[in-house]
Structures are given as C-alpha cells and as structure tokens.
Structure 1
Amino acid sequence: MKENSVIAIDGPAASGKSTVSRCVAAALGALYVDSGALYRAIAWKTLEVGADPQDGERVAALAGAVDMRFFVDGPAVGFSLDGRQLAAELRTERVNQAVSAVAANPAVRQQVTGWLRDMRSLGRLVMEGRDIGTAVFPTATFKFYLDASPEVRAQRRHAEMTEVLSVDAVGASLNRRDQIDSKRKAAPLTMAADAVVVDSSGMGVDEVVAFVLARVKC
C-alpha cells in the first residue's frame, strides 16, 4: 500500500533539501521535517557527555535513553532532547565531524526511523533526509532526490555555517560525509529506484519548488 501522508525528499548534504522542503511544505499546508537534525542531536548529545562518536555501544545506549519529544512548531515538526531545544548547536563543525559516525550506527538509525514514522500522527509531512524514500517510507507515493555539483553544495553549506571556515575546507568535509554516508551498512545514502531526480545546480529555489509541486499536484 502506498504511503500518501509523506513526501520524501532525499539527497546529499547541502543539495538544497532543507530550503526546498520547507517551501514545498508551506505551499501544501504540510509540516516540514528535518530528519538529519535528529542524528545531529544525538551527535551533539554524544559530544556533550564526552563520549566517542565511534563507540557504537555507548552511542546506541545514549540514543535509546534520551527523552525526545516532538510537537508542531509553526510550519514544522519541532523537538526537544532531554528538555532542551537545539538550534545553532547542531550546525557546528564539531557536530559535522561527528554526525556521520553516529548516523552510521544501526541502533541509532532504528531509533530515529521509529521517531520519524511516529510523526505521521501530527499530520501530512514533507520530510527531508538521506534514506526517507528508501528506508523510512519506502512506499511513499512521492519521492524526490535532490543533488547539486560539489562546488555549489560547498558554497551553500559555507553560507549556513556559524564558524569561519574556507569554502574548500567545507567542500572537503562534505566529501568525507558523502563517502561515509554512501558506504555505511545501515541505510546508506542512495537514490530510490522510483525517485524523481532533480539537479539543482543551475536552478533557483523557486524553480525547484515549482517542479516538485507540479509532480505532487498532477
């Protein structure tokens, strides 16, 4: 049976998923979900308690023990971790370096997948991530895979960051993340066979959003 309550938008980091997903959700009156923020939150928690992101058992235990609460936060699904709402803390280079190891942990992915599926009780969702259309909601009716050139992605991520790093350094970090995400055993970054591919390198946000909406509404 097809899953009609979720629009899945996957792709590598800085491919434009977040901006496009927010705009599509707003146009449809749906809720925006940033699945990557949940992995970043677990990575942040791991670092906060002084644990090693590579320590699979410790990270899995942390993910299973946190008090994660979800709620409608305006146009999006918000969350708190152990009573704390996180924002800028999730976008530091320190978390960037830790999140791939955390996200590659099978127990963490299982935990986060369960959280994401439970969000359907909040309403219609536009969910962005790396495995939404392949692992979280493989029967979603609408699946999109956004991509962009490495240069464009590096520039986009550089503009988002709160720390002073060169575009080249950001690009190198993204490349490392791509390699780890695509080679991990648990739900690797891959394109669903039935996803619509969108290369946003030479497209404006409005163009990409219009393309997605045309597919969803047809």
Structure 2
Amino acid sequence: MNLSVNLKDVLFLDIETVPQKEKWQQLSKETQALYEKKTRYQRKEEFTAEAFYGRAGIWAEFGKIVCISVGYFITSLERKQFRLTSFYGDDEHAILTDFKALLVSHFAEKSKLLCAHNGKEFDFPFIARRMIVHQIALPEKLNLFGKKPWEVKHLDTLELWKFGDYKQYTSLKLLTSILGIPSPKEDIDGSEVAEVYYREKNMDRIVDYCEKDTLAVAQVLLRFNNQDLLKDSAILRA
C-alpha cells in the first residue's frame, strides 16, 4: 500500500466512552423508553433494555466521552519520534474543548488529517455529536456538511484494510496481531471501560488503554506503508 501521506500531517486518535449514567435506574423514564426503542434491533428479543444498558456507551445519544488520546509524529533527519497526550476526566465539555483547541491550533490546515481505526463509523461522528450536545461549534476537521468525499480529511485504518470489501469488520487487536505489532489490549478492552470508570474509578487504566490504541493505529499505518515500527525509545508521553 503506497499512501502519499506525510506522517507529520496526521493526528492519530482514539476515544473511550461510557454510559452517561452508571445505572439504568438513574435514567429518566423518557430516556429509558428512548433507549429501549433505539436498541430494539440490536437487542432483538434476547435482552431487555435494562440488561442491555451496559452497552449504552457506544451511542452518542446515551454515552459520553471520558478520554480522547492523540498522537503525532515528530520527525527529523536524525530520528522519528511519536508524542502521545490525552484529554480525560469527568468533565466531558472540558475534554471536547481541549481537543478542539488542539485541532484549531495545530491541525487546521487542509493538509492535516485525522486517523483512527473505525474512526469514520465511530470516533469522528461520536466526537462531533457530543460537541453539538455541549453546544461547542464544530472545528473544520469534524464539520462534514456540504463536503465532497475527497474533501473530508479523515483516514480510517479499518477502511484501508478493507480494500473496498464492505462485508467484514476487522478489529484493531486482530490487525495488530497479523501485522506483527505489539498488542494494545494487554490490560482491559472496550467492554470493560465502563466498569473501570464507574466502579474502580481508575482513570489511569483507561488513559493507558486509550493511548496504547492510539499508538497501535500509528503502527498499523506504518506497516501499511512498509515502514519500520516505532521503538519504545521513540515514544514520548506528555
């Protein structure tokens, strides 16, 4: 795969989301009814809406972002480095505002790209929807209204791996495994984030998990371009 992309123009990212409330009983009756209707197809008759509430974090209408991790390359003639940083915590508005500030100040140019695994189906629209909920004006990189496909500055490693085959989904864990990239799923996985957030109240674990996914996406893009993987010594954490 020959991607004509300057790595320094790419902002890699990953998000972690949880249900807006810890428990089903904390939702209003109206929200419970709306969730029941929204998830009817996914649940079929196997689960009640209450039993299915643990998955509420995958919908922007019923979930919230607790961490956005980003990474970008810093290259020179001597070496290639990769810097990681995260916006996280209980204040989703602050997370989104800080992330937007980064986009506006450092990744607003037309040459800049956003990259995530399954980003076009999940990360990018989820961030945009939550910004609208919080009445945060969308930055240009997330405002897709009226744009032609080639004007959308988004890269998706899942889409690249499909090569036009829209019948399958390949997880980041599977992709890193077959490409010989160290697995990012060493501690927790996405299904456990809500429990770690609400019960353990351990943001450090969530941030570490999110940053590892962000790094993995960057490593995948390097492998797609037949470039050497990043070594631990080249990874900088803010």
Greater RCO, CA 8 A, separation 6+: 1
TM over 0.5: no
The structure carrying a bigger helix percent of its residues is 1
Q: For the pair shown, which has the larger CA radius of gyration, 1 or 2?
A: 2
Q: TM-score range by the shorter chain?
A: under 0.3
- TM-score using structure 2 length: 0.25
